[in-house]
Each structure stands twice: as structure tokens, then as C-alpha cells.
């Protein structure tokens, strides 16, 4: 009990392994096999560029052309990936959650309760659920607000929400307030959030 080998192997490796099997392997088996969920790669996610992404290209033709060229699955994938990187790097996920719980009237406030299936994709690896909501949940953000709202909001949140405590992100926009490559990316990513959600009956194997 008090010797090196017991402590190293039983407490150190043994107890850790038991816990890893119970709380890592079991959920993985349940979620991976039982639900028969398919993993969506970046190509799957970006196969059909969103209406919001097309609208960004139409509203800012010159800027969009310079940053992304044409609207295509490839340019959409590039924008989503960069948008996620910015969302991670600016720690957005430490003030905005990305899952809706079935309690506290969250379905009324934000939208449908989260399912495991909607996170089974390349843009949720690792997931961005977050543990704090200073701002509201963003997992149902797709189509909730216009591109213009997001651009005005990111330029300075107080433009549209006077009592907001969110920081401004002017550096994602040029001197005229038009999005740069990063501005397009962040707005595209925000408008993408929630598009992978499917009703429970649609995903049963």
C-alpha cells in the first residue's frame, strides 16, 4: 500500500484507466455506434455555401473578390475554418456557449435542444460548448440575425445593443467598415452555427 510500485501502478495507472474507460470509452461507444451517427468532414459541411455567404459576396463584391474570389465550396470551407479559428483565438467560446439544454426554458429562449448528432463534424473537433454565458448561447445563431446586424455588432456591439459589455472587433473590418478576409470569415461562421441540427426522428438509424 505504501510502496512505490503499488502507488505507481494501482493508484497512478490503474485508477486513471478505470475512470478513462467509464467516462471516455463508454460515451464514445454509445454516441458512436448506438446512434449510428455519420461524421461530417469539412468538405461535407461546405458543400453548399449558405445564403448568408452568397449575400456577403453580393453586398461587398470588391472586398469579397479580393479575399475569397468566387463563392464556392472551397472558399466557403476556407471562410468557415478561419472563422472558427478566430472564434477560438479570441476566446469567444468563454463567454458564449454552444449548447442548448432541456432545462431553464432554454428551448424557448434559444431554439431546439442540442443533440449529440449535430456536433459530429469537423468544426466541432474539439467542440466549443463553453462553460459560461456572459452573452447568449450561439448554437442556434444561423439565420437569426442579418449579416448587416452582425457586421454592425462586431464593429462595435454598442451600435446595436447599447448596454452590451462585449468588446468591439474593429480590426476585422477596413476603414470604411467593410469586412476584411477575417470579417467575412467570422460572420460566415456565426451564420453557420446550428445548421447541422436535425430533428431526433431524422437521425435515428
Residues of span 113-142 touching another protein by CB under 8 A: 114-116, 118-122, 124-136
Q: How far is the CB of 30 from another protein (least distance, A)?
A: 5
**Rg for the chain, CA atoms, rounded:** 21
Restricting to residues 86-115, name those near another protein by CB under 8 A. Answer: 86, 88-94, 97, 99, 101-106, 108-109, 114-115
Dihedral pair phi/psi, residue 179, rounded to 5°: -65, 145
Instruction: Provide the 3-class DSSP secondary structure of residue 9.
Output: helix
Q: How many CB atoms are closer than 10 A to CB 113?
A: 14
Q: How far is the CB of 51 from another protein (least distance, A)?
A: 25
Q: Is 28 in the site for another protein (CB under 8 A)?
A: yes
Q: Is 147 in the site for another protein (CB under 8 A)?
A: no
Pattern 62-91, another protein, x by CB under 8 A:
-------------------x--xxx-xxxx
Segment interacting with another protein, rule: CB under 8 A, options 51-59, 71-79, 143-151, 166-174: 166-174
Cα distance between residue 77 and residue 70, in whole Å: 12
Nearer to another protein, 59 or 152 (CB): 152
Phi-psi region of 44 (alpha: psi -120 to 50; beta: other; left: phi over 0): alpha
Q: Is 168 in the site for another protein (CB under 8 A)?
A: yes
Q: Is 30 in the site for another protein (CB under 8 A)?
A: yes
Nearer to another protein, 16 or 70 (CB): 16
Q: How far is the CB of 61 from another protein (least distance, A)?
A: 26
Task: Judge contact between 197 and 84, C-beta under 8 A.
Answer: no
Q: How far is the CB of 199 from another protein (least distance, A)?
A: 14
Element holding 89 (H helix, E strand):
helix 73-89
Q: Is 18 in the site for another protein (CB under 8 A)?
A: yes
Query: Cell numbers of 161, please?
Result: 445593443
Q: Is 22 in the site for another protein (CB under 8 A)?
A: yes
Using the Cα atoms of residue 84, residue 85, residue 90 and residue 91 in order, give the sign of their dihedral: positive
Cα distance between residue 12 and residue 4, in whole Å: 10
Amino acid at each position: 500500500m505504501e510502496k512505490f510500485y503499488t502507488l505507481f501502478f494501482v493508484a497512478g495507472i490503474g485508477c486513471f484507466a478505470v475512470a478513462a474507460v467509464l467516462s471516455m470509452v463508454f460515451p464514445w461507444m454509445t454516441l458512436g455506434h448506438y446512434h449510428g451517427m455519420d461524421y461530417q468532414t469539412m468538405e461535407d459541411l461546405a458543400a453548399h455555401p449558405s445564403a448568408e455567404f452568397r449575400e456577403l459576396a453580393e453586398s461587398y463584391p470588391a472586398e469579397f473578390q479580393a479575399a475569397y474570389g468566387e463563392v464556392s465550396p472551397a472558399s466557403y470551407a476556407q471562410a468557415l475554418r478561419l472563422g472558427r479559428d478566430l472564434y477560438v483565438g479570441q476566446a469567444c467560446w468563454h463567454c458564449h456557449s454552444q449548447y442548448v439544454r432541456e432545462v431553464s426554458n432554454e428551448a424557448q429562449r434559444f431554439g431546439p435542444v442540442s443533440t449529440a448528432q449535430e456536433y459530429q463534424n469537423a468544426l466541432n473537433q474539439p467542440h466549443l460548448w463553453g462553460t459560461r454565458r456572459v452573452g447568449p448561447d450561439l448554437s442556434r445563431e444561423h439565420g437569426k440575425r442579418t449579416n448587416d446586424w452582425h457586421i454592425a455588432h462586431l464593429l462595435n456591439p454598442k451600435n446595436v445593443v447599447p448596454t452590451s459589455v462585449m468588446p468591439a472587433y474593429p480590426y476585422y473590418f477596413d476603414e470604411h467598415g467593410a469586412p476584411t478576409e477575417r470579417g467575412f470569415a467570422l460572420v460566415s461562421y456565426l451564420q453557420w452555427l446550428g445548421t447541422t441540427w436535425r430533428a431526433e426522428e431524422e437521425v435515428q438509424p
